[in-house]
Structure formats: C-alpha cells, structure tokens
C-alpha cells in the first residue's frame, strides 16, 4: 500500500519537511522512498510541482496522512 506522508530533514531547529510517496510494506533502514513531491520549510509555502502525480496516486488508492491532508487544504 502506498502512503503519502511527511519526512523530516535538516538540522536541529532548522527543519525541512518533504512530502513523499512510500510503500508502507517495504520500510527499510535506509529511508528509501519512491518520489519526492514537495519541500516545506518554515519560511516558504508548499510548492507541489507534481500535483498531477499526487492526484493519480490517490485515485490508485494511496493513503494520505492527516498532516499532509491538512497542509494540502491550506
């Protein structure tokens, strides 16, 4: 099952979040993901360049986390 969720990067007190697509059945220690959809920092708003891909994955049955769903509604 595919999930669309946030992943935290960056350093202490300067977090950068990415909206990613990941297969929940194949979680691995390396943190590998399928596709990066967007980056979010504290100073910028969300810019999703692949919104068509996001819509396609949701239609195929990908689950969106509550946090990403909230951010997309803004």
- Which fold, 2-73? S16 Ribosomal Protein; Chain: A; (3.30.1320)
Partners of 15 in beta bridges = 10
Strands (DSSP E) found in the chain: 2-11, 14-23, 35-40, 63-64
pLDDT at position 14 is 82
- Summarize pLDDT for 11-66 with one digit per residue, the tens: 888 888 888 888 877 765 555 666 777 777 766 666 555 567 777 888 888 898 89
CA torsion 40→44→49→55, rounded to 10°? Answer: 60
Higher pLDDT, residue 10 or 24: 10
Domain ranges of the chain: 2-73
Q: Is pTM beyond 0.75 here?
A: no
Partners of 7 in beta bridges = 18
């Amino acid at each position: 099952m595919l999930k669309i969720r946030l992943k935290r990067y960056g350093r202490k007190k300067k977090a950068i979040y990415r909206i990613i697509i990941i297969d929940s059945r194949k979680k691995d220690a390396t943190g590998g993901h399928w596709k990066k959809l967007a980056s979010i920092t504290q100073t910028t708003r969300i810019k999703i360049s692949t919104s068509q891909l996001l819509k396609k994955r949701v239609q195929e049955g990908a689950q969106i986390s509550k946090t990403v769903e909230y951010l997309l509604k803004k």
